[in-house]
A and B are shown apart, each in its own frame.
Chain A
Amino acid sequence: MPFIRRLIATTVAASLTLSTLPLYAQPAAQGDSGLIRTEQVAAGAAPVAAAVQGDHARLLATLDRADLAERLRERGVSADELRVRIAALTDAEAAELMARIDKAPAGADILGLVFTVFIVLLVTDILGFTKVFPFTRSVR
């Protein structure tokens, strides 16, 4: 029986490790291998692949700014958490978010804008089904 228990423990440990690994590794690995990714095929439209890949990187790079990280922390969001959230966005979702940042007029308060985009504008229109902020408020 101890053998079986050890086998189960090892399997669980291995699968837990594996399940956390592919977050960043997988898309990069497929990109390097020259394979066309599923998301590119599913996207159907124009060849946006390269640009869209870049949107994830650009969103992540935004988070490296110390001043933004500080402001996020003040509001109870850590940059690390946002990094994980960004990684979980699909290409289309990341592109939508980045487009909002790119549309900013020159001379605007970029930091405040980026912050607003992350925390507020992420909400609107991304899913395209409502004009109202799809946030939850609990019932009191």
Chain B
Amino acid sequence: MRGGRRRLLTALGGTATFGAIGALGGLGGCASLADPPQTQALDGAWPAGVPPQLELRDVPFVPQTPLHCGPATLAMALGHIGIAVDVDQLGRLVFLPARGGTLQLELLAGARRHGALATRVPGQLSALVQELAAGHAVVVFLNLGLAMSPVWHYAVLVGHDREAREFTLRSGPVERDVFSWRTFEFTWARGGHWAVAVLPPGRLPATAAETDAVDAAVGFERVAAPAEAARAYTALLARWPGNLSAAMGLGNSRHAARDLPGAAAAFETAATRHDSAAAWNNLARVRWALGELEAARQDARRALSRAEAAEPRWLEPARATLAAVSAARP
């Protein structure tokens, strides 16, 4: 709270200072003064390949019921990728009645449970317009009030206009709520620059960081149908072929989908590429299930020697696997 008050005082101080300068300089409005940093940056350097004006008109509008901007926002984002949901039912999943709100954590989990991946997008205005250019609506978290007395709000960013310096959002009860860049940045910054793209497995946000994309897929694997999770990991590997977590995820989801040869292929690729004890371990298990006992024993030995050499965290599972495949009879 103390930090919040200091921020407010700073903000008030800043306004007073700029007001004084404005009066001295005889400037008409304050819009030209004190633009927040990202607004200035976007003014200076427009991302390449992003059209100057764009609106995703096919994002459905779901007006919020009292206090339900979280569920309504998620329903719009899911609707845009063809996943129809009942907003009241969604409200029971992601809404916390006692607090009159939806947690960000719940919003991410709610998307997963409906078969979509919610991936964090970098907290940059330039990233937001790049997502729009890729056809992705972006869920944003705003504080429409002040840091001291917050008014939290979720909305869906659906359009931008470079010349007018405006964003268009599906927000609360308003289908086309137009924010100036600076107002959007101020409220978005007070919400922690939080933005996620909600996409079906197989599609990745244009700007997501590798770790955020992996986090989204790993969370998705928990609740998704295995074949869908495999699709998400395949897309990850297409963009980041060297990601071990994604390679393991592909093998594990194929295994969960009962595609043992596919799982073996994925683990073998991961094992040879990364010489990872975890990948050798899983490869041994899958080959054993496939009846390739001799190969499984070799893999299990490699898993153990690799764990002993460099990856002690996998010592225990590697020992268990080697013991199991050694004792197995064809």
Chain A interfacial positions (CB closer than 8 Å to B): 15, 18-19, 21-23, 26-27, 29-30, 33-42, 46-47, 75-77, 81, 84-85, 87-90, 93, 119-120, 122-123, 126-127, 129-139
Interface digits, B154-166 against A, CB 8 Å rule (1 contact, 0 not)? 1000000000000
Give the shortest distance, in Å, between B110 (CB) and chain A (any CB): 8
Contact A30 B256 (CB under 8 A): yes
Q: Which residues of B contact A (CB under 8 A)?
A: 3-4, 64, 66-70, 92-93, 96-106, 109-110, 112-113, 115, 141, 143-144, 147, 150-154, 171-173, 191-192, 194, 214-215, 218-219, 221-226, 228, 244-245, 248-249, 252-253, 255-256, 276, 278, 281-282, 285-286, 289, 312-314, 316-317, 320-321, 324
Contact B99 A41 (CB under 8 A): no
Inside 8 A of B3's CB, which chain A residues have their CB?
131
Is A138 a contact partner of B172 (Cβ separation < 8 A)?
yes
Partner of A87 from the list B4, B222, B255 (CB cut-off 8 Å) is B222
Are B248 and A77 in contact, with the CB atoms below 8 A? no
Closest to B107 in A: A136
Contacts of B154 in A (CB 8 A): 136
The smallest beta-carbon distance between A91 and chain B, in angstroms, is 9
Establish whether residues A81 and B92, one from each chain, have CB atoms under 8 Å apart when the complex forms.
yes
CA distance in complex: A77, B162 (Å) = 44
- A to B CB contacts below 8 Å, 17 in the list: A22-B223, A29-B256, A41-B245, A41-B278, A42-B215, A42-B248, A47-B314, A77-B96, A84-B113, A85-B109, A88-B109, A89-B109, A122-B105, A132-B4, A136-B70, A136-B102, A138-B69
